[in-house]
Structure 1
Amino acid sequence: MAGGHFTGFTYIRPAAESIGGIEASGLALLLLVYGLAAFAGNLAAGPVADRRMRLAVLLFPLTLGAAMLVFAVAGATTVGVLAAVALWGFGFGGAPTTLMTWMARTEPTRLESVGGLQAATFQVAIAAGAVVGGVLVDGVGVGAALVGGGVAVLVGAVLLSTLRNRRG
């Protein structure tokens, strides 16, 4: 899931410029919208994860993946780009909180280990996602990085939601 996010997010500037026609002067607004939405997603994730973990595990990554796809196919206007980026930020903002809550519930006696695992996984995902995104941008175009990343996030969300606690 995180790798899919970074496949597209690494190239959000060229995507905003080429797909949405946003000039360099508009990038600050784009990132502000993303950041505020990510903050809101982070705040929303805790209560949702506390009440309905399976919903949270699906909601935030599905929002993230869908937003990347919407950006790629419907982001031809500034309003479309800003709306897609707001959803993207909200989804990604809630994902780490949800994942950490899920991991802590799964392994409550190993909090340091699961925290380290999440940090290491995200670092690998950043690198792998950026590389895959770069290959897609160079080979096909910036829209391909958004579509490829969005599909990866959606597949990851479905796979993550099927995991069960196997403690006996």
Structure 2
Amino acid sequence: MLMVFGLTTGEFVIAGILPDVAADLSVSVAATGLLVTAYAVGMIVGGPSITVLTARVARKPLIVALIAVSVIGNLGSAIAPNYPVLLASRFAAGSVVATFFAVAIATAISMSPPDKHASTVAKVALGMNLGIVLGTPIGTVIGHNVGWRATFLTVAAVSVAALLLVLRFVPDQPAATSGPVLSELRVFGDRRVQWALALTALGNLGVITVFTYIAPLLTGVSGFTADAVAVLLLVYGVGAVAGNFLGGWLADKALMPSLIGLLAALAGVLALFWLVGDSKATATIMVFATGVLAFAIIPGMQARVLTTARSAPTLAIAVNASGFQLAAAFAGWLGGRVIDSGLGMRSLYLVGAALTVTGVAVAVHILRRDRAALRYGEGTARDRTVPSRFASRRIRPVRSGRGWRP
């Protein structure tokens, strides 16, 4: 949980110190936004590849190595003499995040009794919420008052503390698999996994575009001071915690319908932010509402990926994280292009709303596919999904005594 807290803080705190980094390194805010992209690209590239390539490595040494890389990446960020070195350091720090999440959750579950799996995952994932609620605003305060380099030094220190706890308490465990490691990559051929990954990427793209530039939006559009940004990030984090529990509860009730409703609500809030964002009072409310909805969609998206990739659950978690980071990588670049285009900083809210609507469209498509599969299976639990050989063809499968046939 402590390590997840550090990783999450390291990912999101850049949004609070973006102007400080830009001013100190003499680069534009748009260029500084690419630091988010570099971290995200590191997760995208490192997540599936490192997870697969290390599948035959014992768990504890792997966890130690992943934490060590994170420490080195954050130390490199703290002492970076220029923008290119900082960009490379953020890529390195991000490259191990998705694999660490996957291995940490799998290891924690293996150490807990069967009836405590869900609560165990919740305890590990609590680090993510705490990173938003506490880590990001605290890191922003440190960055404003001591310097943005001190923020990354603090993240590295948290990771070192987590490393000591891992060395002391995590038992030695064998590798996740002893078979061919590349066999797990077959999960990517499942059309349902592909759509689930697309939902994670497109559903998060709009809100991440807005969050990446939240500091200049709040100071330049809403009129807040730089010191107030840390408080508003805390408001966002409180909303994120509430949204996490809300999204999980709704996903248990009705997974895809709840995701459609939450994504539609998120698009509406971002559009409303564009209308009323110049008022400090309403902007504060919008920050909280955005935090709630941005994290309410995550449990359902994760559940969707896990249920469609049961043959490789560890890789599925890394894939889900990579899908989220695909959105983050594109968001950092896209937001910079919107700002440089002359449309103005405020237009990011409308762009975010429009992008979120594409996530709604994907969710609706997935729901229709599910219902079609259920109809083809005559409503039985075992036939909820059309067999993969029919998934990409315009052929209506029917039941016969010999099984599925066109």
1:23–1:37: structure 2 CA closer, same or farther, 3 Å change rule?
same
Q: RMSD of the TM alignment (CA)?
A: 1.6
2:335 matched residue in structure 1: 133
Q: What is the count of residue pairs matched by the alignment?
A: 168
Rounded to whole Å, the distance in 1 between the matches of 2:218 and 2:296 is 23
How many Å separate the matches in 2 of 1:110 and 1:41? Answer: 28
Instruction: Give CA-to-partner distance per residue, 1:37-80, whole Å, 9 cap, x none.
Output: 01100011111101111232113322322222111121121111
| Structure 1, 92-101 or 63-72: larger mean CA deviation | 63-72
Within the alignment, does 1:167 sit opposite 2:382 as a pair? no
Give me the TM-score of the superposition, normalised by structure 2: 0.40
Q: Name structure 2 gaps, 5 residues minimum.
A: 1-202, 371-384, 388-406
In the other structure, the counterpart of 2:268 is: 66
Q: Percent identity?
A: 24
Partner secondary structure for residue 292 of structure 2: helix
Structure 2 counterpart of 1:141, which letter? Answer: G
- Equivalent residue runs for 1:133-152 within 5 Å: 133-139=335-341, 140-152=343-355
Cα deviation 1:79-126 (Å, max 9, x = unaligned): 111111111101111121110112223333432232222111112211
1:97 to 276, 293, 299: 299
CA distance in 1, matches of 2:272, 2:224: 16
Residue matched to 2:251: 49
Distance 2:359 2:349 in 1: 15
Q: Distance in 1 between matches of 2:288 and 2:265?
A: 10
Give 1:147 deviation, angstroms.
1.0
The residue identity in structure 2 corresponding to 1:119 is A
Amino acid at match of 1:123: Q
1:107 maps to which residue?
A: 309
Which structure 1 segments of 5+ residues have no match?
none
Bigger radius of gyration: 2
Aligned to 2:286: 84
Structure 1 equivalent of residue 320 of structure 2: 118
Runs of 4 or more above 4 Å deviation: none
Greater relative contact order (CA < 8 Å, ≥ 6 in sequence) = 1
What's the TM-score, normalizing by structure 1?
Answer: 0.91
SS at match of 1:142: coil
The one-letter code of the counterpart of 1:18 is G
Cα distance, 1:23 vs. partner?
A: 1.3
